[in-house]
Amino acid sequence: MRINNLSIYQFKNHKDFKIDLNTDISCITGKNGQGKTNLLDAIFMLSACKSYFNAIDYQLILHGESSAALNAEFYNGQQLDIQLIIEQGKKKKLKLNGKQYDKLIHHIGLINVVIITPDDIELIKGNSDERRKFIDLMISQTDRVYLNHLSEYHKLLDQRNRQLKLFADHQHFDSIILESFNERMLAPCEYIHQKRQTVLKEIQAAFKQYYRSFQSGSEEVVLKYESALNSDSFEILLKSSLNKDLAIQRTSVGIHKDDILFEINGYPLKKFGSQGQNKSFIIALKLAQYHFLAETVKQSPILLLDDIFEKIDEERAEKLIHLISQESFGQIIITDTHAERMRKYFENINKSTKFVEL
């Protein structure tokens, strides 16, 4: 998978910007606030149909304007012209080769990218939502059934929660109505749970290998899938939590409560990991994601690296460069604040390299 060029119109702090990216490695440098990260976010958005950094679409539009547009030409054996339009008060529009998608969900998995950014520390420090988003996106890029089940599960979850609130508001409970939601949620929940378990097991070996590449020492790192469904069926969990759900007016069990535990030597990384171990852990996790996507779809994703050389020491930086310079990695787009540092790291790499300063 490659991106050849990118055009940005009224997106974040870019009024009208175009860039040619048709090379193996693009090093984009400039001062903070120049919009380097926003370029990577634009590429990510053309893949995932949503921003990596902003949950609210209208915040992506240049201040004072009412719309934004992203255009790019990708290549995965055939040319793919992608256009995304964001307008205040309207749903996003996405077009592939001039034809608009009926649903954005149909686009997921066509353009695969992996992004590594300093904000990824939230995977360790943040709540379980961050870790679920990580694994859900990774699997959704390779499994259409999973993506459809995930969409259906969350739709039913919202409906069930609204029904629980109605029961409380009207002081009336109807078990038949609630059971209808329960039955429809069973299949999506069980599929998602099983798939998450399977994929986490599959990436363990690559994750540990990448971690050892960055972190000297003998510490043992593990990814563990934490879910109430590991020991009970969703049907049993729903029945046992009925009184609690009615009291709190929302669904207290299910795959929307699951988490991924990050451990180092048997202890929570969040509490016991050093800064260096945290950084190695995150990079290894994202490279394991890259490895999984490449192996599953038999095509290298685009790798986006956002200002990470500001946050890691020179030894880890050199190890990362050595890894991503190998043939197993495809196109790479990197942002950094120091042009000279980028030239030092990448001038002698045996891949076509372009340096762009904003």
pLDDT in tens, 44-53: 999 999 999 9
CB contact at 8 A, 64 and 5: no
Report residue 121's pLDDT band, with 50, 70 and 90 as the boundaries.
Answer: very high
Question: Residue 333: CA atoms inside 13 Å, Cβ hemisphere, count?
Answer: 27
Residue 220's pLDDT is 94
Q: Which residues fall within 8 angstroms of residue 44, CB to CB, at 6 or more apart?
A: 51, 52, 113, 115, 304
pLDDT in tens, 255-296: 999 999 999 999 999 999 999 999 999 999 999 999 999 999
Dihedral of CA atoms 276, 343, 11, 60 in degrees, nearest 10, equals 0
3-state SS class at 292: helix
Q: Count Cβ neighbours within 10 Å for each residue of 238-263 and write b for 16 or more, e otherwise.
A: beebeeebeeeeebbbbbbebebebb
Q: Percent of the chain scored above 90 by pLDDT? A: 92
| Among 50, 43, 47, 1, residue whose Cα is nearest residue 19 | 43
Cite the residue boundaries of each domain of the chain with CATH code 3.40.50.300.
1-112+299-358
Predicted TM-score (pTM) of the model is 0.95
Residue 217 has pLDDT above 80, yes or no: no
Average model confidence (pLDDT) for the chain? 95
Report residue 187's pLDDT band, with 50, 70 and 90 as the boundaries.
Answer: very high
Residue 53's pLDDT is 95
Among the four given CATH numbers 3.50.50.60, 3.20.20.80, 3.30.470.20, 3.40.50.300, the one describing domain 1-112+299-358: 3.40.50.300
Residue 340's pLDDT is 92
Q: What is the mean pLDDT of residues 28-44?
A: 95
Report the distance separating Cα 205 and Cα 79, nearest Å.
34
Report residue 172's pLDDT band, with 50, 70 and 90 as the boundaries.
Answer: very high
Q: At what angle do helices 175-214 and 128-140 cross, to 10 degrees?
A: 90
Dihedral of CA atoms 33, 34, 37, 40 in degrees, nearest 10, equals 160
Fold of 123-297: Glutathione S-transferase Yfyf (Class Pi); Chain A, domain 2 (1.20.1050)
Q: Phi, psi (5° rounding) for residue 146?
A: -60, -45
pLDDT in tens, 126-159: 999 999 999 999 999 999 999 999 999 999 999 9
Sign for the CA dihedral angle at 237, 242, 248, 249 comes to positive
Residue 99's pLDDT is 97
3-state SS class at 355: strand
Cite the residue boundaries of each domain of the chain with CATH code 1.20.1050.90.
123-297
